[in-house]
Amino acid sequence: MSNPLQAAYYADDAQQVDAKITENRLLARETFLVRLVAPEIASRVVPGQFVMIRIHGLDDPLIGRALAVYDVHSGAAGEPEAIDLVYIRKGKLTRYLAGAAVGSVVTVWGPLGNGFAPDPCEHLIMVAGGIGQTPFVAVAKEALGHQRFGQRQTGWAKRVSLVYGARSADLLAGLDDFAAAGVDLQLCTDDGTRGRKALVPTVLEEVLQQSLQNTSAAAIRVLCCGPEIMMEKASEVAAACGVRCEVSMETPMACGIGICFSCVAKVRQSDGDWDYKRTCVEGPVFPAEKLCWE
Amino acid sequence: MASLSVSLNRLQLKNPILVASGTFGYAREMEGIVDCARLGGILPKTITAEPREGNAPWRTVEVSAGLLNSIGLDNDGVDAFIAHHLPYLSQVETAIIVSVAGRTEAEYVALSQRIGECQGVAAVELNLSCPNVSGGVDFGTDAEACRRVVAAARAACPVPILAKLTPNVTRITEVAAAAADGGADAVCLINTLLGMAVDWRQQRPLLGNVMGGLSGPAIKPVALRCVHQVRCATDVPIIGIGGIATIDDVMEFLVAGASAVQIGTANYYDPQVSTRLIDQLPGALAELRADSVEQVVGSLQLPR
Ligand SMILES: Cc1cc2nc3c(=O)[nH]c(=O)nc-3n(C[C@H](O)[C@H](O)[C@H](O)COP(=O)(O)OP(=O)(O)OC[C@H]3O[C@@H](n4cnc5c(N)ncnc54)[C@H](O)[C@@H]3O)c2cc1C
Ligand SMILES: Cc1cc2nc3c(=O)[nH]c(=O)nc-3n(C[C@H](O)[C@H](O)[C@H](O)COP(=O)(O)O)c2cc1C
Ligand code: FES
């Protein structure tokens, strides 16, 4: 059950548009950045929100796919004009998208979901595994005051770190963008080809311990995006240090706008019981302690 | 301009494009994307007497040209519906057709009566076909049980009654005739087809509920066949449902004998589809030189 009227959980900002591809390039192994002209979405989206994307007229793949907004690109007049999405070539839609020519058109609707809140802190630690780094370039740019998204405030964090793990070095995508934004990079790979040969939660623990030497736990925030098992472990690490932690869930979605009830996750209620909540409208970002990990 | 309005016994619709239950939330979700007042009608997600938390994930899985779902009638129950959703729905200037599901005949009757007596409800649709709810009699597969529940709901409910039927039966004509006999103002054809998806590498079913209902373009031929068979067998008005996403799909259902259609899965993957189809309808009618929707309903020419 999921009562949508218990809070303002509606995709009221969302617009459905046919967007032209102006760029579609390789960023890392099997990882691409696509730029879509969609001023209606670009001017509204905030970090951590996502869009649904579909190839109009195709019956297979049929259903839209959720992709996090990686960045917003401004036009000559300085107005938000296009959105960048970063995707890993995996199945039906992403294979099609990787072959889509510049100039071709896709259907997108968004911005969707709640995004990460711009709550001020001294040290913001973003934790990503696999393709989970995609929302964090925008988060870092906003938090460090380099870019405004929607009508939100900027410059709400003093320092930003990214703990980012992938199977191997050639899958780490967007490192230049993070470095350009002034993010402290803490990389790790399963095979040790780049950064530490360690798991993300282990690296997070070290980063947190170090941060706690000169920063109070209350002034640190941890944001996670990636495989659920990684987020569960990372949130345990944060909780053990008394640090606030939020996670971005990636449940299978069919609409992105709250009408299908596919995307549910078990979320703890104030009475201690749990309820299925739609991650597309009530998330995808949740306080880690609210989730009942499966 | 062609007349788009249609009447299905006691139910009048300003145009034949409706949105199907379970595929449009409670309409409020769509406010920013769709001008809901333009629709011929809205069917909010099926409600039950008690709240239901629904099935465990995964609840939907995409398959070739279709979608499998086992949502499990996740809803907050009739009280919450009346308190929270109906006030919004009833001020949208279109026919609000409330879908209800019960475990017993008495539950269907009580829900139909209670909902039918609420302000702003144009009709009640009996969801006699949800494959995700076990327990109780299967009103969608047993013709006599179907006739009885429709008759009892009709007697208790002051507004028109629609019967939504499942295609997962040997002879849909028998169930549809029974619904007509029970006094249904129209039958709605079809709900989803029972299906399954398997991940062979992990050796497990993809849906949390193992099996689920297939919808989307993949089921359109089955839905058209059902509409055609029922059109030939009885005169009860039909609302066609199943894989409708384009104006060609809409016209195919009208010609095959549906007086109106409901758009389902397409709302997920093309949220503005329903109002676009309303825009396109007059042009398609003009191609057949028809000045009303009713002129093309059931105009199918069969080979001699
Ligand atoms: C909020 C959110 C943000 C996302 N952001 C990104 C992103 O920035 N970059 C990126 O590459 N991918 C992202 N994804 C995953 C993306 O939506 C697709 O599942 C992925 O791109 C594969 O699609 P495909 O058609 O290529 O693969 P296919 O295997 O052909 O299709 C995947 C289908 O299965 C479902 N599915 C399969 N696995 C998962 C899973 N682990 N989680 C959810 N659904 C699944 C999808 O909904 C889709 O219908 C995000 C998902 C969500 C929910
Ligand atoms: C995710 C999902 C949820 C659904 N929920 C309901 C429901 O609550 N009640 C109902 O009568 N039909 C429900 N349906 C069935 C649709 O209303 C429709 O009959 C069916 O999907 C076939 O139409 P389509 O191919 O256009 O989707 C649901 C369908 C889907 C895909
Ligand atoms: S994806 Fe449809 S309700 Fe969330």
Chain B window 168-187: which residues touch A at a Cβ cutoff of 8 Å? none
What 3-state DSSP class applies to A119? coil
To the question of pTM greater than 0.80 for the whole model, the response is yes
Note whether A13 contacts B: Cβ–Cβ < 8 A.
yes
**Of B29, B45, B53, which is closest to A10 when you measure between CB atoms?**
B29
The 8-class DSSP code of residue B84 comes to I
Residue ranges lining ligand 3, Cβ < 6 Å: A 253-256, 258-263, 278, 280
Note whether B217 contacts A: Cβ–Cβ < 8 A.
yes
Instruction: Produce one character per residue of A194-222: b if its CB has 16 or more CB atoms within 10 Å, e if not.
Output: bbbebbbbbbbbebbeebbeebeeebbbb
Burial (CB count within 10 angstroms: exposed 0-12, middle 13-18, buried 19+), residue B134: exposed
Sign of the dihedral defined by the CA atoms of residues A108, A114, A116, A117, in that order: positive
Mean pLDDT over B264-274 rounds to 98
With CA atoms as reference, report the closest residue to B215 among A1, A63, A16.
A63
Atom of ligand 3 nearest to the CA of A258: 3
Note whether B107 contacts A: Cβ–Cβ < 8 A.
no
Ligand lying nearest the CA atom of residue B62: 1
**CA–CA separation, B261 vs B250, rounded Å?**
7
Long-range contacts of A229-232, Cβ-Cβ distance < 8 Å, separation of 24 or more: A230/A127, A230/A129, A230/A132, A230/A165, A230/A199, A230/A200, A230/A201, A231/A127, A231/A129, A231/A288, A232/A293
Which domains are delineated in chain B? 6-55+71-194+216-296 (3.20.20.70)
**Distance in Å, CA A52 to ligand 1 centroid:** 10
Active site (catalytic) residues of B: 130
B41-64 pLDDT, tens digit each: 999 999 999 999 999 999 999 999
Enumerate the residues of chain A whose CB falls inside 8 A of the CB of residue B77: 1
Note whether B147 contacts A: Cβ–Cβ < 8 A.
no
**CA–CA separation, A182 vs A185, rounded Å?**
9
Q: What is the pLDDT of residue B134?
A: 52
Question: Does residue B282 register a pLDDT over 60?
Answer: yes
CB contact under 8 A, A4 and B66: no
* Chain centre to alpha carbon of residue A104: 25
Q: Whose CA is nearest to atom 33 of ligand 1?
A: B62
Across chain A, which has 294 residues, the per-10-residue mean pLDDT values are 53 96 98 98 98 96 98 96 98 98 98 97 98 98 97 97 98 98 98 97 98 98 98 98 98 97 95 94 97 92
Note whether A76 contacts B: Cβ–Cβ < 8 A.
no
How far off is chain B from A286, nearest CA to CA, in Å? Answer: 18
Q: Tell me what the pLDDT averaged over chain B comes to.
A: 96
Six-digit token string for B229:
């068979």
Enumerate the residues of chain A whose CB falls inside 8 A of the CB of residue B66: 62
Angle subtended at Cα A127 by Cα A124 and Cα A133, rounded to the nearest 5 degrees: 110
With CA atoms as reference, report the closest residue to A147 among A126, A118, A123, A173.
A118
CB contact under 8 A, B22 and A109: no
Ligand lying nearest the CA atom of residue A64: 1
Sign of the dihedral defined by the CA atoms of residues B133, B216, B89, A52, in that order: positive
Q: Please choose from B111, B128, B191, B269 the residue to mutate so as to test ligand 2's pocket, defined by most ligand atoms within 8 A of CB.
A: B191
Six-digit token string for A138:
């925008």
Q: Which residue of A has its CA nearest to B268?
A: A255
Specify the CATH architecture of the domain A121-248: 3-Layer(aba) Sandwich (3.40)
CB contact under 8 A, B65 and A257: no
Atom of ligand 3 nearest to the CA of A254: 1
CATH superfamily of A4-112: Translation factors (2.40.30.10)
Q: What is the pLDDT of residue B130?
A: 61
Q: What is the pLDDT of residue B138?
A: 83
CB contact under 8 A, B71 and A262: yes
CB contact under 8 A, B60 and A254: yes
CA atoms within 13 A on the CB side of A15: 11
Atom of ligand 3 nearest to the CA of A278: 4
Mean pLDDT over B78-89 rounds to 97
Q: What is the pLDDT of residue B199?
A: 98
**Distance in Å, CA A101 to ligand 1 centroid:** 21
CB contact under 8 A, B75 and A109: no
CB contact under 8 A, B271 and A63: no
**CA–CA separation, B116 vs B10, rounded Å?**
14
Give how far Cα A124 sits from Cα of A113, A116, A136, A141, Å.
21, 12, 11, 12
Q: Answer whether B25's CB lies under 8 Å from B31's CB.
A: no
Q: What is the pLDDT of residue A8?
A: 53
Burial (CB count within 10 angstroms: exposed 0-12, middle 13-18, buried 19+), residue B137: middle
Domain ranges of chain A: 4-112, 121-248
Atom of ligand 3 nearest to the CA of A66: 1
Q: Answer whether A7's CB lies under 8 Å from A282's CB.
A: yes
Question: Does residue B70 register a pLDDT over 60?
Answer: yes
Helix (H) or strand (E) segment spanning residue A71? strand A65-74
Atom of ligand 2 nearest to the CA of B191: 19
Other C-beta atoms lying within 10 Å of the C-beta of residue A236: 16
Q: What is the pLDDT of residue B135?
A: 57
With a CB cutoff of 8 Å and minimum separation 6, the contacts of B39 are B15, B17, B18, B19, B94, B274, B275, B278
Q: What is the pLDDT of residue A288?
A: 98
**CA–CA separation, B149 vs B128, rounded Å?**
9
**Of B75, B80, B268, which is closest to A259 when you measure between CB atoms?**
B268
* Chain centre to alpha carbon of residue B203: 34
Q: What is the pLDDT of residue A1?
A: 42
Ligand lying nearest the CA atom of residue A66: 1
CB contact under 8 A, A262 and B52: no
> What is the dihedral angle through the alpha carbons of B210, B215, B220, B226, rounded to the nearest 10 degrees?
70
Enumerate the residues of chain B whose CB falls inside 8 A of the CB of residue A59: 64-65, 216-217
Identify the bridge partners of residue A268 per DSSP, sorted by sequence position.
Answer: A274
Q: For chain A, what is the largest distance between any 2 Cα atoms, rounded to a whole number of angstroms?
A: 56
ipTM value of the model? 0.96
Q: Whose CA is nearest to atom 53 of ligand 1?
A: A250
Pairing mode, strands B238-241 and B186-189: parallel
Note whether A258 contacts B: Cβ–Cβ < 8 A.
yes
Best probe of the B interface among A18, A257, A260, A268, by most B CBs < 10 A, is A260
**Distance in Å, CA B25 to ligand 3 centroid:** 10
B89-148 pLDDT, tens digit each: 999 999 999 999 999 999 999 999 999 999 999 999 999 986 556 555 689 999 999 999
Q: What is the pLDDT of residue A294?
A: 82
Give how far Cα A238 sits from Cα of A215, A231, B250, Å.
14, 10, 54
